[in-house]
Amino acid sequence: MKLKVDLKRALPIWVENGLLSPEQSGKILDFQTRASRTRKSIPLPLLAMVLASVLIALGLFMFYAANWRAMAPAFKLAQVFLLLIGFYGAGFAVGVRKGASHPLARVLIVLGMVSFGVGISLVAQIFHISAHPTNGLLTWLLAVLVMSAICRETWGLYLGGILLFIWNAWEAGVYGNPNHLMAPILLAYGFLAWREKSALALIAGLGFFLYYLVQAHILLGIHHENAAVAIGSVLLFFFYGLLFIQARALGEKRDFPAAALKVAEILGWILVLLPFALLSWPFPSSGEKPLFLALLDTTAGRGVLVEGVVLATLLVLPWRRSADLRRWNPYFAWILVFALAMFFLPLGSKTVLMVATHLGMLAFFFGMLYFSFGGEDGRRGRRVLAIVFPCFLLFAKFIGFLGLGLDRHGYFVCYLVGFIVFAIVVVLIGQVVKFLLEKKKRGVPEWILTLVATIFIFGSLYALSFEVKNQKSIFSTGPMVLTLFFVLLGIALSLFAWLARLASDKWVTGLAAAIFAASVALMFLARPDLDWKVYAICFNLLLFLLEGAVIALGARRGSRSLQILGIGFFTIHLVTRYFDLVWDLLSGSALFLATGALILAIGVLLERQRRRLFSAPPVEKP
C-alpha cells in the first residue's frame, strides 16, 4: 500500500504524540528536503520504449492508410482482430512474467489501445459505414478509458486525455455542439485519475473541465441568440469557480495529489474572475425583467436556472466540514450571495448590468486582498492571484477603454478619463486594505497595484496629450455611461475622504487626488467648440505633474524603482513633445543631427543621475 504524507503537517503531530523527538523530526525534514531537490532522470530504456510505441502507432496508421485498398476483404477483417489480440496478448504475457508495471508490458497495452482506434477506421471502410465522424473517435475514447480502468494503466489515461481533447474540439469547433456528453466522460476520467493518484492526469482533467465549461456555456448563449441565456450561463462560472476552490480544501483530506489541488484552486479563481471580465462590457439589451424571470421564458434558460440551484446546493453543503472554508466563509458567502443576487436583477438593462458588475468587481478586489493577506493560512498562491487579478483587469480595461474612445468619435476624453477614475479607485482600495491590515500587524504589497495603475494612468494621459478635437460632453452620452461614471466618482470621493481622515501616509492619496480632480474637471469642461490646444496643454501639465510626483515619491521613500520609472515617464514625454515641436521646423538631416546631440547631452545627465541614485543605499520598498 502506498501512503503519501505531508511531512510539514505530520511531523509536528508525531512529535506532540511522542512518536519522534524534535531532533529526529528536524533530521527527517532536512533529509526529505534534500532528497526532493534531487531530480531523477528518465531511464533511457523507458524513454526508448515510449518513443518506440509512438513510432509504431504512427506506422500502423500510415501502413493501413497506404495499403488498405490492395488487401482482400477477409484479410482486412482478420487483421483488425489480430492486431487487438496480438498486442493485448503480448502485453498480458509480459505482465505475467515480469510484472504489470514492466515498461514493455505497459507499452504493449497502450499499443493495443491504439490498434483499437485503427480497427474502428478499418471496419468503417470495410462496411462503408456513414455516420457522424466524431462517433468513431468517441467509441475509441470510451474503449481506452475502459481498458485503462481494467488494467490500472496510467499511460492509457494520457492517451485518453489526447483523444478527449480532439473529440471535444472537433464537436465544438466544427459542428458548434456544446457537447454536454463530455461532462459524464470527464467525471469518469477524473475518477480514474484520482484512483491512480496521477497528478498529470488530474491536472489534464481539470483543464478539460474548464475548457468544457467555457465552451458549453458560451456556445449555449450564442446558439440561442438570447442575451438572458448568455448572461445566466456566464454567471454560472461563479458557482463552478467556488466548487473548484472547495475541491482543494476537501481534497487535502482525501490524499489527492497536491499539484492537482493547487491547479484546481487556481482554475477556480480564474472561473470566479471570468464573469467580471466578460459582463463588464455592454451586452445587447433584453428587457427590464429580473434575470430569473427572463430565463423562465425559454427551455435553455430554465436549464441554466436548474444548474444554478444544483451548484449552489453543492456549495453550501461542505462548509461545515472544512476549517479552511470556515476561515474564508465571509468571502465565499459574499461571492455566492452576489452571484445569486444577480439572478434577481434586471440585467437585461445595460445600466443595471454595468453598475452591478463593476461594484461586484471592486468588492471582489477588496475581499481577495484583505482575506488573502489577512488570513491565517498564508497561502502564497492566493496572495499572488490577489495581486495578479486587478492588474490583469487594469490592463484589459485600459485596452478596452482606449479602443472604445478611438471607435466612438467625440468621446475619447470621456472614456480615458473614465478609465483613470477606475484605476484610481483600484489604487485607493489597495491603500484601504493596507491601512486595515496594519492594525492587524500584517502587510500587503499594495505598491504593486499602485505601480501598475500608475503606468496605465500615464498611458491614458499620454494618449490624451496629443491633438484631440471635437470632443462631446459626457452629459450627451447614454444613461449607462453616465450612471456608471457617477457611481465610480462617488466611490472614489468616499475613499478619498476616508483615507484623508485616517491614513497616516497621504502621499499616494494626495497624488491620486490631484490627478483625479484635474482629469474629472477637464472631462466636465469637454464640449465640441473647445479648442484642442486646451486639452493638449492641460493634459501635458498633468503628465509633468505625474512624472514629478513619482520621482519625488521615490526620493522620499528611497525607492530606486520609482525614481527610474518617473525618469522613464519624463523621457518618453519629453522626446515625444520634442518631435512634435521641431519636426516641421527643421529639415530631416538637421533634425537628426540636433536630436543626436541633444540625446547625447541627456544621456550624460541621466548617467550622472543614475550613479547618484545607485550609490545611495535603499531605505524601503515602494
Q: What does the DSSP assignment read for 393-411?
A: HHHHHHHHHHHHHHHSTT-
Q: Roughly what angle, to the nearest 10 degrees, separates helices 258-279 and 380-407? A: 30
Half-sphere exposure of residue 488: CA atoms within 13 angstroms, side-chain side: 25
pLDDT number for residue 377: 55
pLDDT number for residue 2: 45
pLDDT number for residue 254: 63
pLDDT number for residue 537: 87
pLDDT number for residue 622: 45
pLDDT at 297 over 90: no
pLDDT number for residue 210: 76
pLDDT at 1 over 50: no
**Cβ atoms of 334 and 363 closer than 8 Å:** yes
What's the CA gap between 481 and 354, in Å, rounded? 9
pLDDT at 563 over 80: yes
Cα 238 to chain centroid, rounded: 14
What's the CA gap between 128 and 124, in Å, rounded? 6
What's the CA gap between 548 and 561, in Å, rounded? 14
Q: Which of 336, 352, 359, 332 is nearest to 231 (CA)?
A: 352
pLDDT number for residue 21: 81
pLDDT number for residue 221: 59
Half-sphere exposure of residue 262: CA atoms within 13 angstroms, side-chain side: 11
What's the CA gap between 186 and 166, in Å, rounded? 14
Highest mean pLDDT among 57-66, 432-441, 594-603: 432-441
**Cβ atoms of 198 and 154 closer than 8 Å:** yes
pLDDT number for residue 373: 85
Higher pLDDT, 59 or 389: 389
Interacting residues of 619 by C-beta distance below 8 A, sequence separation 6+: 557, 558, 559
Cα 367 to chain centroid, rounded: 17
pLDDT number for residue 131: 64
pLDDT number for residue 53: 65
What HEC string does 467-485 produce? CCCCCCCHHHCCHHHHHHH
CA distances from 192 to 197, 200, 323, 464 (A): 8, 12, 28, 57
Mean pLDDT of 378-384: 75
What's the CA gap between 396 and 135, in Å, rounded? 40
Mean pLDDT of the chain: 78
Interacting residues of 422 by C-beta distance below 8 A, sequence separation 6+: 358, 397, 488
In a 10 Å sphere around its CB, with 0-12 CB exposed, 13-18 middle and 19+ buried, how is residue 197 labelled?
middle
Mean pLDDT of 119-132: 64
308-355 tens-digit pLDDT = 888 888 777 765 555 555 555 567 778 888 999 999 988 878 888 889
What's the CA gap between 141 and 169, in Å, rounded? 14
pLDDT number for residue 117: 77
| Other C-beta atoms lying within 10 Å of the C-beta of residue 483 | 16
- Residue with grid cell 497506404, as numbered in its chain: 66
pTM of the predicted protein model:
0.72
430-434, 454-458, 555-559, 568-572: lowest mean pLDDT where? 555-559
CA-based end-to-end distance of the chain: 52
Question: Percent helix, strand, coil in the chain (nearest 5)?
Answer: 80, 0, 20
DSSP 101: T
- Residue with grid cell 502621499, as numbered in its chain: 507
pLDDT number for residue 573: 86
Q: Which of 367, 139, 424, 74 is nearest to 242 (CA)?
A: 367
pLDDT number for residue 126: 57
Mean pLDDT of 355-370: 90
Higher pLDDT, 559 or 327: 559
pLDDT number for residue 180: 67
Mean pLDDT of 457-484: 86
| Other C-beta atoms lying within 10 Å of the C-beta of residue 13 | 10
Instruction: Give the SS3 label for residue 280.
Output: coil
pLDDT at 619 over 50: no
Highest mean pLDDT among 172-186, 503-517, 578-592: 503-517
Mean pLDDT of 135-139: 81
218-270 tens-digit pLDDT = 665 565 567 788 888 889 889 888 888 877 776 666 666 777 778 888 888 88
What's the CA gap between 328 and 325, in Å, rounded? 5
Identity of the residue numbered 297: D
pLDDT number for residue 223: 58
pLDDT at 616 over 70: no
pLDDT number for residue 316: 76
Q: Report the percent of the chain where pLDDT is more than 90.
A: 8
Mean pLDDT of 95-122: 76
475-527 tens-digit pLDDT = 888 888 889 899 999 999 999 988 888 766 677 788 888 888 988 888 888 88
Higher pLDDT, 133 or 335: 335
Confidence tier at 142 by pLDDT (50, 70, 90): confident
391-431 tens-digit pLDDT = 998 999 999 888 888 887 788 888 899 999 999 999 999 98
Residues counted in the chain: 622
DSSP 72: -
10-38 tens-digit pLDDT = 777 778 777 778 788 777 777 776 655 44
pLDDT number for residue 182: 75
Mean pLDDT of 269-275: 88
Buried b / exposed e over 237-253, threshold 16 CB at 10 Å, is bbbbbbbbbbbbbbbee
Q: Which three cell numbers stand for residue 274?
A: 471570468
pLDDT number for residue 526: 83
568-581 tens-digit pLDDT = 888 888 888 777 76
Q: Which three cell numbers stand for residue 554?
A: 521615490
81-90, 118-127, 229-238, 285-294: lowest mean pLDDT where? 118-127
